[in-house]
Structure 1
Amino acid sequence: MRSGLNLRASVAGTVLALALAGCATTPVAEPQAITETASLYGDEDAYIADLVSRMSLEHKIGQLIQPQINSFTPEDMERYRFGSYLNGGNGGPYGDEFAPASEWLRYADEMYAASVQPLPNGEPVIPTMWGTDAVHGHTNVVGATIFPHNIALGAAGDADLVRRIGQATAVEIEVTGIDWNFSPTVAVARDDRWGRTYESYSENPDLVAELGAALVEGLQGARGADDYLGTGRVIATAKHFFGDGGTEQGVDQGDVNGDIDELLALHGRPYPATIDAGVETIMASFNSINGRKMHGNEALLTDVLRGEMGFDGLVVGDWNGHGQVRGCTVTNCPQSLLAGLDIYMVPDDWRELTQNLIAQVNDGTIPMERVDEAVTRVLRVKYRAGLLGPDAVRPSERGVAGQYELLASPEHRALAREAVARSQVILQNDGILPLVAGSNVLVAGSAADDIGQASGGWTLEWQGGLEGEMGADAGIADRLFPNAESIWEGLEEAITSNGGTATLSEDGSFTTRPDVAVVVFGEKPYAEFAGDQRDLAFRDEEGLELLRSFEEQGIPTVAVFLSGRPLWMNREMNASNAFVASWLPGSEGGGVADILTGAVQATGRLSFSWPNDCIGTPLNQAEGALFAVGYGLSTGETGSRGELGESCSLLEVGAGSEIFGSGRLADGALVYVSGNALGNDNEMLPNFRGSSEAAGISVRGYDRNAQEDSREIEMSAGSRLAILQETDGGGAWRLTYEVDTRPTAPVSLLMATPDGEPSVLDVTMEFQNAHGKGFREMILTEACFGETGNILGFMTEADLTLRIAEIRREDLPEGTECSF
Structure 2
Amino acid sequence: MREGKMMRAALAMAALGLGLAGCNAWPFGGEVTVAESAVPYEDEDAFIADLVSRMSLERKIGQLIQPQINAFTPEDMERYRFGSYLNGGNGGPYGDEFAPASEWLRYSDEMYAASIEPLPGDEPIIPTMWGTDAVHGHTNVVGATIFPHNIALGAAGDAELVRRIGEATAVEIEVTGIDWNFSPTVAVAQDDRWGRTYESYSEDPDLVAELGAALVEGLQGHPGDDDFLGDGHVIATAKHFFGDGGTQDGVDQGEVNGNIDDLVALHGRPYPATIDAGVETVMASFNSINGQKMHGNRDLLTDVLRGEMGFDGLVVGDWNGHSQVAGCTVTDCPQSLLAGLDIYMVPDDWQELMETLLAQVEDGTIPMERVDEAVTRVLRVKYRAGLLAPEPVLPSERGVGGQFELLASAEHRALAREAVARSQVVLKNNGVLPLQAGARVLVAGSAADDIGRASGGWTLEWQGGLESEMGESEGKVGELFPNATSIWDGMLENISAGGGTAVLSPDGSFDERPDVAVVVFGEKPYAEFAGDQGDLVFRDTEGLELLRRFREQGIPTVAVFLSGRPMWMNRELNAADAFVAAWLPGSEGAGVADVLTGARPATGRLSFSWPASCEGTPVNGPQGALFPLGFGRELDDTSTLRQLDEGCAALDNFDSSDLFSSGRLATGVVAYAAGGNLETAMDMLSQMRGTSTAAGIAATGIDRDAQEDARRIVMQAGARFGIVQSNGGEGAFRITYRVEGRPAAPVTLTLRDDESGDETVIDVTRQFEHAALKGWREMLITEACAPGLGNAFEISTQARLTIGIAEVRREELPQGTACTF
1:361-376 equivalence runs, <5 A = 361-376=361-376
Residue number in structure 1 paired with 2:54: 54
Q: Secondary structure at the match of 1:783?
A: coil
Q: Structure 2 length as normaliser, TM-score? A: 0.97
1:716-755 equivalence runs, <5 A = 716-754=716-754
Residue number in structure 1 paired with 2:79: 79
Could you tell me how far 1:390 is from its partner in structure 2?
Answer: 1.0
Could you tell me how far 1:327 is from its partner in structure 2?
Answer: 0.4
**Between 382-391 and 218-227, the greater mean CA deviation after superposition:** 382-391
User: Matched residues in 2 for 1:653 and 1:623: separation?
Assistant: 25
Q: Secondary structure at the match of 1:674?
A: strand
User: Matched residues in 2 for 1:401 and 1:548: separation?
Assistant: 52
1:361-760 equivalence runs, <5 A = 361-473=361-473, 475-652=475-652, 654=654, 656-676=656-676, 678=678, 680-754=680-754, 756-760=757-761
User: Matched residues in 1 for 2:404 and 2:722: separation?
Assistant: 42
Residue number in structure 2 paired with 1:266: 266
Could you tell me how far 1:564 is from its partner in structure 2?
Answer: 0.2
* Contact 2:190–2:618 (8 Å) recurs in 1: yes
- The residue identity in structure 2 corresponding to 1:309 is M
Residue number in structure 2 paired with 1:770: 771
Q: Secondary structure at the match of 1:737?
A: strand
**Between 144-153 and 786-795, the greater mean CA deviation after superposition:** 786-795
Q: Please, which runs of 5 or more residues in structure 1 have no aligned partner?
A: 21-26
User: Matched residues in 1 for 2:10 and 2:171: separation?
Assistant: 25
* Contact 1:752–1:790 (8 Å) recurs in 2: yes
Q: Deviations over 1:296-347 (max 9, x none)?
A: 0011101110011000000000000000000000011111001100000000
Residue number in structure 2 paired with 1:225: 225
Q: Does residue 328 in structure 1 map to residue 320 in structure 2?
A: no
User: Matched residues in 1 for 2:137 and 2:655: separation?
Assistant: 41
Q: Secondary structure at the match of 1:785?
A: coil
User: Matched residues in 2 for 1:723 and 1:620: separation?
Assistant: 38
Residue number in structure 2 paired with 1:244: 244
Q: Secondary structure at the match of 2:31?
A: coil
1:227-376 equivalence runs, <5 A = 227-376=227-376
From the superposition, tell whether residues 380 and 228 of structure 1 become closer, same or farther in structure 2 (CA, over 3 Å): same
Q: Please, which runs of 5 or more residues in structure 2 have no aligned partner?
A: none
User: Matched residues in 1 for 2:744 and 2:511: separation?
Assistant: 61
- The residue identity in structure 1 corresponding to 2:447 is A
User: Matched residues in 2 for 1:444 and 1:530: separation?
Assistant: 28
Q: Structure 1 length as normaliser, TM-score? A: 0.97
Could you tell me how far 1:664 is from its partner in structure 2?
Answer: 1.5
Could you tell me how far 1:714 is from its partner in structure 2?
Answer: 2.2
Residue number in structure 2 paired with 1:23: none
Q: Secondary structure at the match of 1:784?
A: coil
Could you tell me how far 1:636 is from its partner in structure 2?
Answer: 1.6
* Contact 1:15–1:392 (8 Å) recurs in 2: no
User: Matched residues in 2 for 1:472 and 1:711: separation?
Assistant: 25
Q: Deviations over 1:264-299 (max 9, x none)?
A: 000000000000000000000000100000000011
* Contact 1:633–1:639 (8 Å) recurs in 2: no
User: Matched residues in 2 for 1:327 and 1:263: separation?
Assistant: 25
From the superposition, tell whether residues 179 and 15 of structure 1 become closer, same or farther in structure 2 (CA, over 3 Å): farther
* Contact 2:737–2:779 (8 Å) recurs in 1: yes
Residue number in structure 2 paired with 1:783: 784
* Contact 1:677–1:721 (8 Å) recurs in 2: no
Could you tell me how far 1:504 is from its partner in structure 2?
Answer: 0.4
Q: Deviations over 1:334-370 (max 9, x none)?
A: 1100110000000000000000000111111111111
Q: Secondary structure at the match of 1:337?
A: helix
Q: Secondary structure at the match of 1:39?
A: coil
- The residue identity in structure 2 corresponding to 1:108 is S
Residue number in structure 2 paired with 1:206: 206
User: Matched residues in 2 for 1:472 and 1:307: separation?
Assistant: 55
**Between 785-794 and 355-364, the greater mean CA deviation after superposition:** 785-794
Q: Secondary structure at the match of 1:31?
A: strand
Residue number in structure 2 paired with 1:34: 35
Q: Secondary structure at the match of 2:650?
A: helix
**Between 723-732 and 535-544, the greater mean CA deviation after superposition:** 723-732
From the superposition, tell whether residues 670 and 788 of structure 1 become closer, same or farther in structure 2 (CA, over 3 Å): same
* Contact 1:2–1:393 (8 Å) recurs in 2: no
* Contact 2:675–2:718 (8 Å) recurs in 1: no
User: Matched residues in 1 for 2:562 and 2:536: separation?
Assistant: 14
Residue number in structure 1 paired with 2:149: 149
Could you tell me how far 1:807 is from its partner in structure 2?
Answer: 1.5
Residue number in structure 1 paired with 2:132: 132
- The residue identity in structure 2 corresponding to 1:86 is L
Residue number in structure 1 paired with 2:215: 215
1:89-108 equivalence runs, <5 A = 89-108=89-108
Of all paired residues, the percent bearing the same amino acid is 72
Q: Does residue 797 in structure 1 map to residue 812 in structure 2?
A: no
User: Matched residues in 2 for 1:674 and 1:83: separation?
Assistant: 43
Could you tell me how far 1:785 is from its partner in structure 2?
Answer: 1.6
1:800-815 equivalence runs, <5 A = 800-815=801-816
From the superposition, tell whether residues 105 and 654 of structure 1 become closer, same or farther in structure 2 (CA, over 3 Å): closer
User: Matched residues in 1 for 2:611 and 2:132: separation?
Assistant: 34
From the superposition, tell whether residues 2 and 720 of structure 1 become closer, same or farther in structure 2 (CA, over 3 Å): farther
Could you tell me how far 1:673 is from its partner in structure 2?
Answer: 2.2
**Between 178-187 and 713-722, the greater mean CA deviation after superposition:** 713-722
Could you tell me how far 1:815 is from its partner in structure 2?
Answer: 3.5
User: Matched residues in 2 for 1:15 and 1:116: separation?
Assistant: 14
User: Matched residues in 1 for 2:558 and 2:696: separation?
Assistant: 48
User: Matched residues in 2 for 1:589 and 1:810: separation?
Assistant: 43
**Between 802-811 and 280-289, the greater mean CA deviation after superposition:** 802-811
Q: Deviations over 1:233-264 (max 9, x none)?
A: 00000000000000010000000000000000
User: Matched residues in 1 for 2:677 and 2:626: separation?
Assistant: 49
* Contact 1:426–1:633 (8 Å) recurs in 2: yes
* Contact 2:608–2:620 (8 Å) recurs in 1: no
Q: Deviations over 1:377-396 (max 9, x none)?
A: 00000000001121451101
Residue number in structure 2 paired with 1:819: 820
User: Matched residues in 1 for 2:746 and 2:628: separation?
Assistant: 61
From the superposition, tell whether residues 514 and 292 of structure 1 become closer, same or farther in structure 2 (CA, over 3 Å): same
Could you tell me how far 1:741 is from its partner in structure 2?
Answer: 2.4
**Between 753-762 and 547-556, the greater mean CA deviation after superposition:** 753-762
- What RMSD over aligned residues (CA atoms) do the two structures have, in Å? 1.6
Q: Deviations over 1:439-487 (max 9, x none)?
A: 1000000000000000000000000010001014363331000000000
